[in-house]
Structure 1
Amino acid sequence: MNARRVARGTAFAAALLVAGAGLTAVPANAAGGTVGVRETVCAQDLELRVKPQGARMGTLHKPQTFLVKEIHGEWVFGFAYGDINHDGWVQDGWFC
């Protein structure tokens, strides 16, 4: 087996591992939140959490809305409208 074939096989295997890990690509039209704005969820499912990376409280679905109150790095705190109607944290970058 030549080195190119091995490299291509390794890259393909790595891509399969990433896909199998359940990682979702950010939609092309997704954007970060803005404080004071009621943003529309662009992701199919966006988990609302009690704290950044904390326990899950519920799921926002596209096109439900989220009022951004604070931004802390890659996490956003605010009010989730729709089925949840509660304050919580979501990962930033999943708004339209």
Structure 2
Amino acid sequence: MTATMGSTVRNGLGIIATIVRIVGLVIVGILVAHIVLTLLDANPSNFVAQFISGYAARFNLGLGNLFVPSQPKLGVTLNYGVAAIVWLVITTVIVRLLRRL
């Protein structure tokens, strides 16, 4: 019976790890989409651009003004790019820990 319970726990942790990976990748995708829309001069009053910009601001981990170069687009690329990398690293570490349990 304990073998079945251990298998169930492993399956549950695998599902949680998959959910964490998906959520992390969605956040990284939002941050990257914000960078792309900024670089391509998307209309800031467009609903999609506002939606992505709003969520990117929530997920930037306080790194929205880490770098302040003279070109605003470079600032967005650096700041949100660093945030995306941090999210990717955090997500990868958590998923690996969950899979090892």
More strand by share: 1
Q: Tell me which interval the TM-score lies in, with the shorter structure as reference length.
A: 0.3 to 0.5
- Higher relative CO (CA 8 A, sep ≥ 6), structure 1 or 2? 2
More helix by share: 2
TM-score of the two chains, using structure 1 as the length reference:
0.33
